[in-house]
Structure 1
Amino acid sequence: MEHEFDYDLAVIGSGPGGQRAAIMAAKLGKRVCVIDARTMVGGVCVNTGTIPSKTLREAVLYLTGMQLRELYGASYRVKDEITVTDLLGRLQHVIGREVEVIRSQLLRNHVELIPGVARFADEHSLDVTVDGPVQLHAAEHRTVTANKIIVAVGTMPARPSHIRFDGIRVLDSDQILSVDKVPDSLVVVGAGVIGVEYASIFAALGTRVTLVEKRPNMLDFCDPEIVESLKFHLRDQTMSFRFGEEVAQVESGERGTITTLASGKRIAAEAVMYSAGRQGNTARLDLAEAGLEADERGRLVVDEHYRTAVPHIYAVGDVIGFPALAATSMDQGRLAAAHAFDEPAHDLAALQPIGIYTIPEISFCGKTEAELTKESVPFEVGISRYRELARGQIIGDPYGMLKLVVHAETRHILGVHVFGTNATELVHIGQAIMGCGGTIDYLVDTVLNYPTLSEAYKVAALDVTNKLRAVDRLADSMLVTDRTGLVGS
């Protein structure tokens, strides 16, 4: 006899992965609920992660006038004194709108949103501590049962045990959004994506930023030439780098902080922000009650269909680890729900873009030169620089660039790497061509709007074509010379 469950699917977490999983199941006619804290609708993505940091970035770009300084001079400002109020006003507006959009989407698809915190009571049951708008009494508890369960709880900042976080002088990457003033100086520990993004944002605000990283370089999964361009630009914003250094101690007082490195160096700054990776938000789920276990970083292991060790419990999004991107989490949620209810669905395409919202931004798709060299794949590179494009001059971006990595024999595009204005938008043109098996000949023979930044693709494609043509001509001349007996005689 089949069990009667309250829901066909219960989703723990309302971030991008949880939303898409719930809506997919609802579209299949299933009874679905999503459980998340009232103050966290939209998950980390909307409340403390992707949306806030990108909104902050756009506000900073506008208020500092950075994008127009090439046109109007280095002293150009939209606002001389930028306050936290200036920045957070826009932030709260965007977050509020996003939360309403999510609520509306769930309501429209008849998904019940249960405000509260869930933990496993057994492999089909969840004990939910229900939030109220104002809690004037003891928390209420509700038991929810479901045939299938998807865990989409996201992550939280990892905190080294030897560092004392106070939320004022010593902060993690979530707390940085709640500072009461723009710091005059800041130490950022960790040069991963989040650390570099925030470091570049505060550098643009005029904060003296020191970036500390124990590895010998930053963003080592990116094209080295692109990373060097970013470092050059950030140094121009007075940012300092301390690579190959570990933090031994952070001391804080009323007037600021002193960060002591293992090498003995001491850095004085108004505040310190730690970006030491992320930890799966699974500690309070009581996973053992469902027969599950997280790894040392709080993450869950899943198979190719996002199933955990318990077949009817799935996990998606940042809680399963790499790539831990909102864009991939959305599709993971959709595919997990489809598999859970035997709905045919294609797997995610292997070709996925990466976007890093630094100032200036970086985006890439496909292979790097180093990867192709290691694989012994013959390739050629074509580069276009924004300063050579009319649109680059119009928008005042002299540092942007686009690089195409092309197979030297088949002429297929193997990688696209972009640095500068709209990089995270432009990369999708290359992604689409690569996904369809296109070659640089398509770009050479295609008319693109003028003046646009998209024209960079044609310039880079022509650059590659000219290099390949030069090799072919020289090879042909050597072959002719060899046949006439002039070679090796």
Structure 2
Amino acid sequence: MADHVYDVLVIGSGPAGESAAIAASKANLRVGVVENRPLVGGACAHKGTIPSKSLRHVIRQIIHYKNSTLFREIGDSRRLTYPRILKSARQVIPKQVELHTNFYVRNRINLHIGQASFIDANTVSVSVVDGARETFTATNIVIATGSSPYHPADVDFNHPRIYDSDTILDMQHTPRHIIIYGAGVIGCEYASMFSGMGMVVDLINNRDRLLSFLDDEISDALSYHLRDSGVTVRHSEEYAQIEANQHSVTLHLKSGKRLKADAILWCNGRSGNTDLLNLEAIGLQADYRGNLEVDKRYRTAVDNIYAVGDVIGWPSLASASFGQGRAVSSIIAGVEIPPVDDVPTGIYTLPEISSIGKTENELTAAKVPYEVGRAFFKNTARGQISGDDVGMLKLLFHVDTLQILGVHCFGGEAAEIVHIGQAIMQQPGEGNNIGYFLNNTFNYPTMAEAYRIAALDGMNRINRL
């Protein structure tokens, strides 16, 4: 006989698992959550989004302070070490844990701490903290176990100079020179943060350009500003081996190059956390990166078992995971809602990047007649006041209908600014029109005013003003 019986059992308490559990509870279903960490929040709260973005915030404050005339007048030359900065950044984690724990309490969701593994499609065994095992049965099971940094077998991640994107948040020294292998989103974010701290950074990219899914102009801007901040970006390179000793680490590349530094950060992909779930018992098989395949309703190959969040791969964003969790519980409760789509990209480099919609390359390939409107932050009063005068807002819109087709932003508060454009793009029919930004008044001075400037610039290009 099972120790616990539920309508919905959620495995994992990160963004996807939490939102799935709360949505199921609000649909009057009996809900249980199994989490293998001692505290809720998943990697998002403990090892990923929250601590890394908090670290970025502290570094950004330091950069702004050091660039101010006030700092130069004071002449404060005290060195802020990485551990000191990290200690400040980590203060947000207990607040997040308390916040998310209260969500479960308020929604009367039973939380169980332990490692889950399948017995059959309706039964899960959980190894709890004291070594005992409990059995759970559920009509529906949602796998929301998240992901972890990918570890190739020939890299010794136990060495004190070799880090991944989890362990870098525990580094207790301040490298003068660090190598970052992998120039995806995480690699670019850490490259900008570490260079902002004054470290020498080598960023190794195994492709021919940075973040090729971005609009070319935004990708080029990121590349320029990384190099301008002192980052050495090396494209089209692949590692051959890594040697590390007590004093240094050396990266050997297949091109023959040898790079020596104080530490290396491995940021070359992530793997779904499925290896401990005993998927064989239910006939499921993860791909080579541990991810699960699902249909548009987030259902796996087993009818009553669903998967959401990073464990299903792209887009692997906390924002999308929250939406996927809510969607899957609505589907289980019999309310069909569309899958999470058209997710804005938020990249927390210094300066940050955000975009939604089509890129110029995509519109050109589709033979869509479009025009571009730009607003440069250096020409906005708010950008000059705040010091966020690097970057721009770029609007892509249809020449004939004036429908907004893409919004791309590089610079201060980009991840916030993009949502204004997103809201207009989601309006039905003629509501999605660049004219909205021409015919409405924006507070002055604000970063949002960039939309009016970009719209005027775009309309001037097609001679309609």
The normalised TM-score by structure 1 is 0.91
1:64-213 residue pairs with structure 2 within 5 A? 64-66=62-64, 69=67, 80-132=78-130, 139-213=131-205
Aligned to 2:376: 385
1:468 paired residue among 455, 458, 462: 462
Q: In 2, Cα distance between the equivalents of 1:194 and 1:161?
A: 21
Select the structure of larger CA radius of gyration.
1
Structure 2: state its 5+ residue gaps: none
Deviation at 1:351, TM superposition (A): 2.8
Q: In 1, Cα distance between the equivalents of 2:73 and 2:395?
A: 35
> Are positions 1:41 and 2:40 aligned together?
yes
Deviation at 1:175, TM superposition (A): 0.9
1:429-468 residue pairs with structure 2 within 5 A? 429-436=420-427, 437-468=431-462
Q: In 1, Cα distance between the equivalents of 2:75 and 2:128?
A: 47
Deviation at 1:67, TM superposition (A): 6.5
Asked if 2 retains the 8 angstrom alpha-carbon contact of 1:37 and 1:131, the reply is no
Question: Matched residue of 1:284: which SS?
Answer: coil
Question: Matched residue of 1:254: which SS?
Answer: coil
1:365-444 residue pairs with structure 2 within 5 A? 365-436=356-427, 437-444=431-438
Aligned to 1:331: 323
Question: Matched residue of 1:35: which SS?
Answer: strand
Deviation at 1:95, TM superposition (A): 0.9
- 1:52 maps to amino acid: P
Q: In 1, Cα distance between the equivalents of 2:444 and 2:129?
A: 54
Deviation at 1:5, TM superposition (A): 6.8
1:249 paired residue among 207, 229, 241: 241
Q: Deviations over 1:87-134 (max 9, x none)?
A: 2323332111111111110011110110111000111111111025xx
Asked if 2 retains the 8 angstrom alpha-carbon contact of 1:68 and 1:395, the reply is no
Identical positions, percent: 44
Aligned to 2:303: 311
Q: In 1, Cα distance between the equivalents of 2:409 and 2:72?
A: 25
Aligned to 1:228: 220
Asked if 2 retains the 8 angstrom alpha-carbon contact of 1:281 and 1:298, the reply is yes
Deviation at 1:140, TM superposition (A): 1.3
Aligned to 1:275: 267
Q: Deviations over 1:247-274 (max 9, x none)?
A: 1111111111111111111111000111
Residues 4 and 50 from structure 1, CA distance in 2 versus in 1: closer, same or farther, beyond 3 angstroms? closer
* Superposition CA RMSD, Å: 1.9
Q: In 1, Cα distance between the equivalents of 2:58 and 2:296?
A: 39
- 1:15 maps to amino acid: G
Q: In 2, Cα distance between the equivalents of 1:216 and 1:75?
A: 43
Structure 1: state its 5+ residue gaps: 133-138, 474-489
Deviation at 1:68, TM superposition (A): 6.4
Deviation at 1:465, TM superposition (A): 0.6
Asked if 2 retains the 8 angstrom alpha-carbon contact of 1:252 and 1:258, the reply is yes
Q: Deviations over 1:332-372 (max 9, x none)?
A: 11111111121x24214643211000011000010100000
Q: In 1, Cα distance between the equivalents of 2:40 and 2:265?
A: 25
Asked if 2 retains the 8 angstrom alpha-carbon contact of 1:200 and 1:359, the reply is yes
Q: In 2, Cα distance between the equivalents of 1:74 and 1:422?
A: 26
Question: Matched residue of 2:311: which SS?
Answer: helix
